[in-house]
Structures are given as structure tokens and as C-alpha cells.
A and B are shown apart, each in its own frame.
Chain A
Amino acid sequence: MISSLPSIAGFVRPDIDWHAVAPELTLLGVGAVVTLLDIVLLERGRAYTSALAGIGLLVALIPIVTLAADGTTREMFGGAFVVDDFALILKAMFIVVAYIVVLLSTNYIAEGDYWENEYYGLMLSAVMGMVLMASARDLVTIFVALELLSIPAYLLAAWRKADPKSNEAGLKYYLMGVFASAIMLYGMSLLFGLAGDTRLSAISDAVSGGDANPVVILGIIFVIVGFAFKVSGFPFHTWAPDTYEGAPTPVTAFLAVASKAAGFVALMQLVHAGFPGRDDVYQPLLWILALGSMTAGNLIALRQENIVRLMAYSGVSQAGFMLAPLAVAGDIGDDALSAVIIYLLIYAAMNLGAFAVIIAVARRTASGEISSYAGLFKYAPGMTILMTVFLFSLAGIPPLGGWFAKFAVFRALVDANTGWGYSLAAIAAVNSVIALFYYAKVARMMWFEDAPEEADTSALRVPPSLIAALGLTAAATLLFGIYPAAITHFTEGTLIALPY
């Protein structure tokens, strides 16, 4: 085992497939240009940064398209970095999500008198971490990708320096994040100790077969729990509401969608490539996490008065839905992954859309209270209809996109044809009804209530970048709902290329 590792003296540079790493390198390049622009042009550069970041992200999509057109699975570093269908779909998702977050940020950051270059530079490096995560099939690569996406996010959460709430947001996120990393690293070290190798394929060989020994169980539990923090699954969600509320809203959208998705990407890789033989360990654990997240998230969300906190708890509950297919992944294999990916893609569209409306409305009301949405239908009917679309899509009402996401989850659970699967499906069904209640609460405020007397009810003006973001997300939400084949086309078949 040891002899297979390269000795230090005879180090040869491994072959690098530049095409395969082109998306990461593009993001690195754009991030560097954004930072350099600040150094060279100083204040004069500010106006161009967000446009540059946005264009840079779109450019990073090009190598993904060419890689997809090429279609071959590429491996590097002995299988630690893999570009397969799974990686490409998710890389594309991360980049598109980041592009929409840039659209959301443009006016918010420019008008708030925040540092722009640093903001976009950090965001691009976080996106690079996410894109890397989609290819990581090795514990160290996963960890590096995780830190690469987390550390900029800690800073971004505290971006509104003058507001103690934002500082609280950043600090809480940082402390909990570091704590989670520590737990995860410990789990990883146990797994490494067993396998003598950090690659997931080797770990899979080492942990499979026979009865699970306690070290394996602990290792798997610690690693999964570490990522449960990242995806804000119950009971590791406690940082999310405070962080979401305090962070600048575009950053919240970024955390709620992209950062959460990155956690799921890692979980999917671990479950599918790392511990496929140990479903007796991870399935019950994920079953409990899924059950707890959807139920607790929903019940707490019922009592929220602040829209962002509501979205935080709704995110906890949605995370529970996404964890559910993984809780039967051992029985249905690839289908569980495609259910989670379908959910992630649709969730990204509808959740970003909801945050876009929240940002647009907050420009007028300067408030996050749900009561400030009263009478929105009277003076901003367009925003009201869009928000209604996003909220009821989150609740899973056809023909809006969310229904197919929920459907994919139900399908995976029933497909398993086990008591665990059926029971979780029934619980998920009940939970989707509870969730409707709080989404409808916001809709009720917008449609049924009258605006308060003193409120400014002149027509709401929305900047073009927000309109673009709203248009993209709303179109995606409707398209995914009416013609789900638009997504399933990409999620069919074997997604994660396994080395054996």
C-alpha cells in the first residue's frame, strides 16, 4: 500500500489535463483580474467589477460546455480529481447560481458603499471551491474545496461591517463552520487510518464487507455530521437563521443555495463513491437527519415573523427533503443521486428567485418583517405574482418547478420499496403540507392584507440587474415544472464514474 505512494525524492509532476481544470483556472484568472483591477484603477475600477465578475463567470461556462460536448470521463491525480457527468452538471449549476448572485449583488453592494472588488474576488474564489468540490473524489481534495468555499463565505457574511448583526452572522458562521470542519477532519483521519489512502475508491474498499467496526462507524458518522452543518440539517442548523438574517441578503442567497448545494455534492460523492458498501451505517443516520430536518425546520418556520429567518428554516426543511433520497441510496443507487440533483437544480432556481424578490422589496420597505409585505399586490403586482410563483413552487404545487423536485424525492423513496423508504415518504408528504402553511402566510400577506396607512405605495422601481435575475429564475421555475424533461435529460443514467 505504502509503496504505491510516490516517494518524495522521485517526485514527478503528474500529468495535468488542462482542459479538465479549465473552469477552475478561468475562475482563478477572473478573480485575480478583479483584484488587480482594484489595485491599478483604484476607485475608477469600481463601476466595472460586477460586470467583469459576471462576464468571467459566463466565460467559465465555456470549458464546461466543451467538456460536456467531449463527453469522456477524465481523471487526474490518481482519481482524486474526476470530471464526469455528475461533476459537469453541478459545476454548471454553481456557475449559473453565482452569476445570478452577482446580478442580485450589483445594486446592493454598489449602493451600500461596500468594497466591491474584494466582494466579487472573494465570491469568485468561493465559487472556485464549489466547482472543485464537484470533481473531488478524495478526502483531501474535498477538504481543500470545502475550506476554499467556506473561508470567503465567512468574510462575506460579515460584509456589513457597521452592523453588529452582520458581525454576529459572520462570527457565528465561522465558529460553527470551524467546529464542523474539525469534526469532519477527525472522521476523515479515522477513515484514512483504515484505508491508508485518501481516495474515496480506496476508502470504499477498506470499509466495505463484514460487520462494520466501531472505527468505521465513527468515521462515517463524523464525516457526514460535518457536512450536515454545511447543508444546515437539523440539529446542526443553529447557525443558519442568525447568519442568514445578519448577512447581506445577496450573500444569504449565495449561502442558502450554492454553499448548501456544495455540501450536498460532497455528501453524494461520499455516500456513493466512498461508503457504498456501508449503507447499514449511513442510511439510518441520514434517515434520522432527513426526518429531523424536514420536521423541525417546518415546525420552527411556522412561527417566524422575519422573511429571511423564514427562508432559513424553510431551507432546513428543504435540506431534509434533499437528504431523504440519500437515506435510501444503498437500495436504489444512481436514482438517489439524480433525485438529489434534480432537487438541487430546481431549488436553486426557486430559492434564488424568492431572494431576488426579497431584495427588491427590501429596497422599498427596508424591513425583513413579513408584515411589511402587506398590500404588496396593490402597488407591486408583478413582484407579488413572482413571489407567489416562487413560494408555491417551494411548497411543491404543480405546475411550478418545485412539484417535480418533490416528486423526484417521493419517487426515490417509494422506489426503494422498504419500510424505511415508505415511512419517510409518508412523513415527507405530511411535511409538504405543513410547509405550505408558512409559504401561504407570506402569500396571504401580499394578496389579502391592505398596506399600512403610512406605507409608501407608489409603484415599485426595480433595477435592471434584479429584473434579469427575476426573469431567469422565474423562467427556469416554470420550465422545470411544465417540462421536467429539461432537467431529467441531464440527470439520467450513471452520473458518478466509479473506478470499478
Chain B
Amino acid sequence: MGEFLNDWGLSIPTFLPIIGAAVMLLIPKDREQLHKLIALATTVAVAAFGLLLLVQFIDNDNYGALNFVVDKGWIDVIDSRYIMGVDGISLPLMLLTMLIVPLCVIYSWNHFPEPHNPKAFLMLLLILETGMIGTFAAQDLILFFVFFEVVLLPMYFMIGVWGGENRRYAAIKFFLFTLFGSALMLVSFLALYFLADASTFDMRLLPEAAAGIAKSSQVWVFGGMFLGFGIKVPMFPFHTWLPDAHTEAPTVGSVILAAVLLKLGTYGFVRIAIPILPEAAAEWAPFIGLLVVIGIIYGALGCLAQRDLKRLVAFSSVAHMGFVMLGIATLTDFGINAAVFGMVAHGLITGMLFFLAGSVKERYHTLDMSRLGGLLVQAPRMGWILGFCAMASLGLPGLAGFWGEFPAILASYNPAEVLAEETFRSYMVIAALGTVLAAGYLLWMLQKTAFGTPREEFANDPHVHDATASEYLAWAPLLILILVLGVYPQLLFGATDPAVVNSLSECLDSSTSDACFDAAAGK
């Protein structure tokens, strides 16, 4: 079994969804039930495979290094290889993806958004899954880039075809923003290839090979990656695509966008930009930190100004991803551990909030919070779940959200040696203020939607009912994980810590970033 997993453990779950989609392509459109079953079977099989990987991963007991490594020729002429592998940073995110997608299939089982067409919708979902899993598994920059881009098309169509009123605008905006970033990111990857000592796209070799690049070039190369990943996160001021895309996307689209797609950006920083170019990262970190705290405050204020529930959750994503980026910007193992935890927690919690927003919309046909109210009266269980998720989102200790935010703030008290302490301490103060605002807007949201009595227009509406079986089924795993990770965070920190420590260059611990260059020159 271990042998098999070592060779095929990553390729099979990556490409199984595409095979499922290909099978669905051959089946006529009107056999809807069959399409749903194939999609469910495929995604559940992928999730089961994920569990096998997890068991084997624990059994290997080598969290800090890459497991299940495959290294085969792909495009020889440009020295790009098919290299896959996971370590403690990527595995949790990959498992999150494998969990969320089948839940999305279950959730949409009986209510596909207009214009219906489950065949096309589920096929796009499966293609999306391949792209997401592949991105977390790829250990070659070009392979990473290809998977990174594969997610664009399905999401574009998902928003554009099944989205809300303004879907055309939101879909193209999402696409253009992301493509702009990734085009410059590709140029950066190429520059890395040509400037580094070894001509390779192999992420395992590049940290060492890139150490010899002149500092000025490094800063530029990092800049290209910063745009590519920063737009995806999204960081202020590139965040404007996010509220539109989230608001207009169908529920499942929003969930995937929040739970996984945003993580591709932060993951890129943790996996590629910082390990390969630590000195440039040190140069950029104060600037990134500044944008991050602006984003945290801006996102929170944005939330307070929203009337639309879904848009509020979208803006809260900008703020929460800000905490993740703050952890990354400290360039310490502590901060980056917090960031990886924050990514998983945000995926679970915000994914859940978008599920809830979708269910509210389905019942009330509106997300205007001034018209909502009394959810606890009409659908008490759903109301309590909303309350639970709001608490998790605002970072209540004991729930998963806390372990993403609090250590990130703590880490910025003590950033990496190369960074200026005063700068990051002031960022810390501002970010801490952001948590207060977060409590403000989430409680305000809860008050508007769940408390009080229902409005007259909905008081006797038969459409408003409590959560259904498929909803429970889709939500339960997320709720359980939010609680479990909140109570016992070591579950995740234990896996990420060795990998994070391995990924950080030692030179970040010295007082000037020139030490990195001295170390490289001495070699």
C-alpha cells in the first residue's frame, strides 16, 4: 500500500476528477440523477484517497519533508518536470479541498441555481477540483502555474452562467484581475529560471540555486510574484474583484472561492516566494505588512457599510486574509504556522458562512439585512449555526478562527530579526483593532439576521423552513472541524511546524538582509 501511494498517491486524486468529468461529458444532459451520482462518487473517492494519504503521511512521520514525491520528465526542452509532493504545509490545504468539494456536491443536490444544468455545473466543479489539488501538489513552477490557471476557466463560467444579477461583470473582473497577476508571475518564474545558478523550475532546488541572484534582481522577481499571489489573496488594493465575484457567484462557487481559491495566493507566498527569495521577502515585508493592515481595517469598515449579507462575508474575507498575510509578512516560523492555520480555519468558517448565506437567500429570496430578521424564530437550528460560525469567525477562543488570528498578531510583536521591530509592533496594534471591528460587524450581522422577530413579509412564508437533510450533511463535517481544531489546534500545528521551519531561510534570523548575500557569497 505504501509503495503504491508513494508512486501514485498524488497523481490519482489530482486527475480522478478530470476523468469523472470526461465520463459525464459522454452521458446525455437529461440523465441528471446519474450525473449527480458520478460527481458525488468521484469526489468522495478523491476524499477517501485523501484520507489514505493522511494515514500514510502520519505513518511516514516525516512532516517537514516532501512525501509521495513523483519526479518524471514533462517538457524537457525547458527543463520543466512533472514533480508532485506534499509536506505539512500543503497537505492540510489539499485535504481541505478534498473535503469541501464533495460537500458542495451534496449541498447542491436538490437545488442547482438557475439555469439548472447539473451536468455542466458539476463538470466545472470537477475540473476545478483537479486544478486546486494540483496546485497544492505541484513542486515545479511551471506545473504549478498550469494548475494555478486551470481553476480560472471553470470559476469564470460558474460565476458567469449560474451567478446573480451582475454576473457578467463579476466574472470577467475576476478573470482579468487574476490573469494580470499570473502573467507577470510567469515572467518572474522565467527570470528565476534564467538568473538562478541552476536552470531549473524545481521548487526543491530553487531556494539554494536562487541565492546567488543579485539583490536588485531578486526584488524585481519577488515583485512579479507578489502581484500574482497578492491579487489572488486578495490584498488591498487588489481586492476589488473579490466582493463582486463572491456576491454574484452561486453559493457553491462562493464557498470554493473562499475556502480554497484564495488560499492559492497565500500558499504561493509560503511555498514559493518566501523560501526561494528570502532576502527579497525581507525587503518587501514591511510594505506587505502595511498593505495588510490597511486591508484589515478597510475590510472591516467595508463590512460595517454593507446591507447585503453575502457582500459582508466577502469583505470579511479581505480582513481575515489580511491576518493570514500578516502572519506571513513576519517571516517567522511562528507567524507562518499561524498563517497556514488561518488559511484552513478561514476556509472552514467562511465556507460555512457562504453556505449559510446561500441557504438564507434560498429561503428569503433576498440577502438585504434590513429585510431579514428573526432567523432564530423561524429556523432556530440554522440560526444557531449562523451564530456559531459568526463566533468562530470573530476569533472566539475555543473555535478554529482564534488560532489563525491570535498567533498572527502575536508573531508581529516579534518579527524576524531582519525586520524592524517598531514597524511590525505598530502593525500589531492596528491589526488588534481590526479584531475589535470584526467582533463589531459580525455581531451586528447576527443581530440583524438572527435576532428579533421576522418581518411581516416573511412571517408566514412557507418557504422559510429549518435546515434540510442535505444541508446538515454538507455542514456537519465543517462544524465539527471548526470545533475540533479550536479545542485541539496541535492537530494542525503539529503537521505544519516542521515544514514551515524547513521552508524558512536561516539568514532571516540575522539582523540585516545582507547576511543572506554574505552566506551565498561564502559558499
Interface centre among B175, B176, B179, B180 (most CB of A within 10 A): B179
Select A411's contact among B78, B146, B160, B195, beta carbons within 8 Å.
B78
One of A154-162, A213-221, A431-439 at the interface: A431-439
For the complex, what is the distance from the CA of A432 to the CA of B184, rounded to whole Å? 10
Contact at A399–B75, with CB atoms within 8 Å?
no
One of A198-206, A306-314, A440-448 at the interface: A440-448
Q: Which residues of A from 401 to 453 have beta carbons under 8 Å from B? A: 403-404, 407, 410-411, 414-415, 417, 422, 425-426, 429-430, 432-433, 436-437, 440, 444, 447-448
For the complex, what is the distance from the CA of A433 to the CA of B187, rounded to whole Å? 14
In this complex, what residue of A is CB-closest to B188? Answer: A414
For the complex, what is the distance from the CA of A488 to the CA of B146, rounded to whole Å? 17
Contact at A410–B194, with CB atoms within 8 Å?
no
Q: A440-B156, A447-B160 are in contact. Are A429 and B187 (CB under 8 A)?
A: yes
Q: Which residues of A from 462 to 500 have beta carbons under 8 Å from B? A: 483-485, 488, 491-492
For the complex, what is the distance from the CA of A62 to the CA of B121, rounded to whole Å? 45
Contact at B153–A397, with CB atoms within 8 Å?
yes
Q: A426-B184, A448-B167 are in contact. Are A410 and B76 (CB under 8 A)?
A: no
The interface residues of chain A lying within 8 Å CB-to-CB of B520 are: none
Select A440's contact among B74, B172, B184, beta carbons within 8 Å.
B172
Contact at A397–B184, with CB atoms within 8 Å?
no
Q: Give the number of A-B contacts (CB < 8 Å).
A: 88
The answer to the question of A392 belonging to the interface, with a C-beta cut-off of 8 Å to chain B, is: yes
Select B160's contact among A422, A444, A491, beta carbons within 8 Å.
A444
Contact at A485–B77, with CB atoms within 8 Å?
yes
The answer to the question of A196 belonging to the interface, with a C-beta cut-off of 8 Å to chain B, is: no
Q: A432-B179, A433-B176, A492-B77 are in contact. Are A426 and B150 (CB under 8 A)?
A: no
Contact at B190–A432, with CB atoms within 8 Å?
no
For the complex, what is the distance from the CA of A417 to the CA of B214, rounded to whole Å? 13
Q: How far is the CB of A400 from chain B (nearest CB, A)?
A: 9
The answer to the question of A398 belonging to the interface, with a C-beta cut-off of 8 Å to chain B, is: yes
For the complex, what is the distance from the CA of A407 to the CA of B77, rounded to whole Å? 12
Q: How far is the CB of B253 from chain A (nearest CB, A)?
A: 14
Contact at B149–A398, with CB atoms within 8 Å?
yes
Contact at B150–A398, with CB atoms within 8 Å?
yes
Q: How far is the CB of B18 from chain A (nearest CB, A)?
A: 10
The interface residues of chain B lying within 8 Å CB-to-CB of A491 are: 77
For the complex, what is the distance from the CA of A422 to the CA of B194, rounded to whole Å? 12
The answer to the question of B157 belonging to the interface, with a C-beta cut-off of 8 Å to chain A, is: yes
For the complex, what is the distance from the CA of A483 to the CA of B78, rounded to whole Å? 12
1/0 per residue B160-202: CB within 8 Å of A?
A: 1100000110011001100110011011001101110000000
The size class of the interface chain A forms with chain B is: 20 to 34
For the complex, what is the distance from the CA of A492 to the CA of B410, rounded to whole Å? 53
1/0 per residue B117-158: CB within 8 Å of A?
A: 000000000000000000000000010011101101100110
Q: How far is the CB of B15 from chain A (nearest CB, A)?
A: 11
Q: How far is the CB of B510 from chain A (nearest CB, A)?
A: 30
Q: A410-B187, A448-B167, A484-B75 are in contact. Are A430 and B180 (CB under 8 A)?
A: yes
The interface residues of chain B lying within 8 Å CB-to-CB of A429 are: 180, 183-184, 186-187
Q: A403-B149, A436-B175, A447-B161 are in contact. Are A425 and B187 (CB under 8 A)?
A: yes
The interface residues of chain B lying within 8 Å CB-to-CB of A398 are: 145-147, 149-150
Q: Which residues of A from 373 to 413 have beta carbons under 8 Å from B? A: 381, 388, 392, 397-399, 403-404, 407, 410-411
For the complex, what is the distance from the CA of A388 to the CA of B124, rounded to whole Å? 13
The interface residues of chain A lying within 8 Å CB-to-CB of B145 are: 398
For the complex, what is the distance from the CA of A411 to the CA of B183, rounded to whole Å? 12
For the complex, what is the distance from the CA of A9 to the CA of B74, rounded to whole Å? 59
For the complex, what is the distance from the CA of A447 to the CA of B121, rounded to whole Å? 12
For the complex, what is the distance from the CA of A447 to the CA of B167, rounded to whole Å? 12
The interface residues of chain A lying within 8 Å CB-to-CB of B75 are: 404, 484-485, 488
Select B190's contact among A388, A411, A437, beta carbons within 8 Å.
A411
Select A397's contact among B149, B157, B190, beta carbons within 8 Å.
B149
In this complex, what residue of A is CB-closest to B143? Answer: A398
28 A-B pairs whose Cβ atoms sit less than 8 Å apart in the complex? A388-B153, A392-B153, A397-B152, A397-B153, A398-B146, A398-B147, A398-B149, A398-B150, A399-B149, A403-B149, A404-B75, A407-B78, A410-B190, A415-B190, A415-B194, A417-B194, A417-B195, A422-B191, A425-B187, A426-B187, A429-B180, A430-B183, A433-B183, A444-B168, A483-B74, A485-B74, A488-B77, A488-B78
A residues touching B (Cβ–Cβ < 8 Å)? 381, 388, 392, 397-399, 403-404, 407, 410-411, 414-415, 417, 422, 425-426, 429-430, 432-433, 436-437, 440, 444, 447-448, 483-485, 488, 491-492
